Amino acid sequence: MSVHSESRRITVATLASMRREGEKIVSLTAYDAAFARLADAAGVDVILVGDSLGMVVQGRENTVGVTMDEMVYHTLLAARGRSRALLVADLPFLSCADPAQALANAGRLMQEGGADVVKLEGGAAQAEVVERLSVNGVPVCAHLGLRPQFVHKLGGYRVQGREAEAAKTLREDARALEEAGAELMVLECVPAALAEEITQASGIPVIGIGAGAACDGQVLVLHDVLGITPGRPPRFARNFMPGHDSLLAALQAYAAAVRDGSFPTAEEAF
């Protein structure tokens, strides 16, 4: 029996086992109980309460304005809806500037919000933070590549790691964060060949978004999957609603496409 067909709660150990067995990990954002319940019913392995809620729920231009209180609130809502999926919650902008602050805020996401794992953006400079969280029992998902919280520093949403030096830095960042104790890693908007190289070199599950099909799993924003994101959707996203008569059927189609390798295609990567 495959790991994802079992009824028991998904853990970081489950994801590690899926990686070893070559089973793709299906991840999706959700920000409330209703959609978390729907994602769970569709067989999603990981529900991410992302600070992307700032854009798709709150209507902001970026994620920078999302607060800790808002992340705790939406994590709590999603926790009430899920029954099986691993629940990952973002540490928002400036909430993990040092190890002590990160530990306090991660504690809020887990104790008040019900998160299983916290996700933070940043490269090797965040290794000390990751280590402090890890040694205190907080599972960490690292986030490399395009980091939306750095939008003002990056000057926009751009593919990361195209140049040789930038690719080298990403490899070093991935290694440093894994060595510091990260349990999972998200690679966003990274060239597919580089993402494949990092995934193969990694000892932890790597989940991609706009990073090609060779990652151990995929994550998308719920609103992109359902075709309700305002404006032009990202190149790496796909609307799964056409041809399906319910939200559940669309989410099931997304999960099936990740697992059978038909999502993402080469055209949905960089």
Say how far apart CA 99 and CA 105 lie, in whole Å: 10
Listing DSSP states for 65-117 in one string gives T--HHHHHHHHHHHHHH-SSSEEEEE--TTS-SSHHHHHHHHHHHHHTT--SE
Per-state percent for the chain, helix, strand, coil, to nearest 5: 45, 15, 40
Q: Is 70 exposed, middle or buried (0-12, 13-18, 19+ CB in 10 A)?
A: middle
Told to judge if 188 belongs to the known catalytic residues of this protein, a careful annotator would answer yes
Say how far apart CA 142 and CA 119 lie, in whole Å: 6
Nearest-5° angle of CA 127, CA 129, CA 135? 100
Retrieve residue 72's tokens: 């705790």
Please identify which of the residues 23, 121, 188, 197 carries the catalytic annotation: 188
Say how far apart CA 2 and CA 145 lie, in whole Å: 30
Identify the three-state secondary structure at position 145.
Answer: strand
Retrieve residue 176's tokens: 């440093």
Identify the three-state secondary structure at position 52.
Answer: coil
By annotation, the residues acting in catalysis are 188
